[in-house]
Amino acid sequence: MLLMLKALPWRAIGAAMLAVAIFSAGWVANGWRKDAEIDRMKTASAQADLAGANKAIEDLGRASATIRTKADEFNATQTALGAKVDAAVKEFRNAKKPLPVDCRPDDFRVRKLSDAVDAAKAAAAR
């Protein structure tokens, strides 16, 4: 047995073990480096996604404000138009001279009717 131990090339085995240890250390260090690189890439991707989400939220906020403004304008126009239509209907009902069936309306009634038609067209165009 002692002869077998003396016959083994201890220097070669030691050099091989040292090479394996150096290779393993390099392999582990490279793994750490790659893990750090992957983490940096994930962080950059997450930051890009966050920036995109913030931009979308900002755009949504602007669109929401625009919609609210336009809705308020529409409601104001509807209120004003409703008041004008009610006034025109009241004036037509309270006219002193009813229109005969075979007559043309006077200038005042034609003007009021034209104003009402123009207001309705303007509201429909919006």
On whether residue 8 sits in a domain, the answer given is: no
| pLDDT value at residue 80 | 86
| pLDDT value at residue 66 | 96
On whether residue 4 sits in a domain, the answer given is: no
Q: Which two tokens stand for residue 94?
A: 């309270």
What is the chain's pLDDT, residue by residue, as a tens digit (126 residues)? 666 667 778 888 899 999 999 999 999 999 999 999 999 999 999 999 999 999 999 999 999 999 999 999 999 989 888 888 888 888 877 777 666 677 777 778 788 888 888 888 888 787
On whether residue 58 sits in a domain, the answer given is: yes
| pLDDT value at residue 114 | 87
| pLDDT value at residue 1 | 60
Give the count of domains, the chain: 1
| pLDDT value at residue 60 | 97
On whether residue 7 sits in a domain, the answer given is: no
Query: How far apart are alpha carbons 64 and 125 in whole angstroms?
Result: 22
On whether residue 12 sits in a domain, the answer given is: no
Q: What is the largest CA-CA distance in the chain?
A: 141
pTM assigned to the model: 0.46
On whether residue 120 sits in a domain, the answer given is: yes
CA nearest to 119, candidates 65, 79, 68, 67: 79
